[in-house]
Copies of this chain bind each other. A is one copy, B any other.
Amino acid sequence: MSSRPIYLDYNATTPIDRQVAEAMTPYLYEEFGNPSSPHPYGVTASRAVELARRQVSGLLGCRSAELVFTSGGTESNNMAIKGVAAACKKDVHFITSAIEHPAVLEPCEYQGSLGHRVTILPVDSYGRVDPAEVEKAITAEMTLVSIMHANNEVGTIQPIAEIATVAHKLGALVHTDAAQSVGKIPVRVDDLGVDLLTLAGHKLYAPKGVGALYIRDRVRLSKFMHGASHERNRRAGTENVAGIVGLGKAAAIAGRELSDTPGTASHLRRMRDRLWDGLSARLAELLLNGHPDERLPNTLSVGFRGIKADDLLYELWDQVAVSAGAACHSEGVTISAVLQAMAVPPEYAMGTLRFSTGRFTSAQEIERAIDAVVAAVNCAERTG
């Protein structure tokens, strides 16, 4: 990978951990059985799926029977949101936030188009939802509060445990999209107090196309995927055995690394903070987006005043792989909905890059990235 750009876009997707790919390999070759089949090929596949379920439930601190494997975070979110409405058979109130991923906002808005009530809560300038706002928003209808655990763009961590406490006091259910937090910080369903939790494989060094939904025992949820009686009759469709095996292995590795001393978070934070220190020492007019402390240890969203993010991406193309917080097109610049909701000043928002570090980020990569970003910023034209 030495001739390829330095990868600092772990929040978009992680590489698959080599141990994960190796765990999957038998299931791409000789262990090809359908877990539903009544013969040894099927039994081997079925046992592999159940081992993975125990591995993932170990990471989340839930019972394995409370986990359903899905095709990814988007399906898990769709299943949670649509499943609560379908099971309720009455009007449901969905309370969510302005900085959710489209995989939560769009299903909520779709429920709104069907006549359900949808409340989208604002966030403060750090991107935080106020639990008191959640409490005020809850109404007499059956209510599902769906607030993400950590934001994908700026890394801000929400006070989910407090939100769950106020929501449960008023009889609401709580779902959290934890796609970005699982594996970076400890995520235990009982600590968070949530009823439903979304997990995505490809943010956790497992492959794309696999995820899970945690469903607390007492939660009534209708099927999203109808068909045969897979996953204890909760989610139809032949199991993605190799992907599920990968997710299980990734969960086992994440659990081990989080409990190591120094653990995952320490490495992620050291790399990220070194990047920020280097950039802020050598460049003026920077804005750090997101909460200063309550933030994922790997995420650094930086606004470069008066510069177009696309110009920076262009300069960094073959050097550093990152994401932008704004996109240029023929009608002008569109600032991301997250930065807009946080009221980031437009002159910084339009020039925002998201850097996200990961398990394989090295100090040397960070030093090279600093040099490249400083050069790109110095080369870019400042407007205004």
**A binding-site residues for B, Cβ under 8 Å:** 1, 4-5, 7, 9, 12-16, 18, 21, 24, 28-30, 32-34, 36-42, 70-75, 77-78, 101-104, 106-107, 109-110, 200, 202, 207-210, 223, 225-229, 236-243, 313, 316-318, 321-324
Interchain CB contact under 8 A, B12 and A37: yes
With A74-B225, A102-B236, A209-B210 already in contact, the answer to whether A34 and B16 are too (CB < 8 A) is no
Give 18 pairs: A residue, B residue, CB < 8 Å, sorted on A: A1-B30, A9-B37, A13-B34, A18-B29, A37-B321, A37-B323, A40-B318, A71-B75, A72-B238, A74-B228, A75-B225, A102-B229, A103-B236, A104-B227, A106-B228, A207-B240, A209-B210, A243-B243
Once the chains are docked, how many angstroms separate the CA of A241 from the CA of B322? 20
A78 contacts across to B, CB distance below 8 A: 225-227, 236
A32 contacts across to B, CB distance below 8 A: 13-16
Q: Which one of B4, B39, B228 lies within 8 Å of A40 (CB-CB)?
A: B4
A77 and chain B: residue at smallest CB distance: B227
* Further contacts, 7 of them, CB under 8 A, given A39-B316, A209-B240: A13-B238, A34-B202, A38-B313, A40-B318, A74-B225, A208-B238, A208-B240
Interchain CB contact under 8 A, A227 and B103: yes
The prevalent SS among residues of A at the interface is loop
Interchain CB contact under 8 A, A243 and B209: yes
Interchain CB contact under 8 A, A227 and B102: yes
Query: A147: shortest Cβ distance to chain B, in Å?
Result: 16
Which 9 residue pairs of A and B lie closest in terms of their CB atoms, listed nearest first?
Answer: A209-B240, A71-B71, A103-B227, A74-B237, A13-B34, A106-B226, A39-B321, A15-B32, A74-B227
A32 and chain B: residue at smallest CB distance: B15
Interchain CB contact under 8 A, A240 and B237: no
Once the chains are docked, how many angstroms separate the CA of A12 from the CA of B238? 10
A104 and chain B: residue at smallest CB distance: B227
A224 and chain B: residue at smallest CB distance: B78
A15 and chain B: residue at smallest CB distance: B32
Interchain CB contact under 8 A, A29 and B9: no
A243 and chain B: residue at smallest CB distance: B209
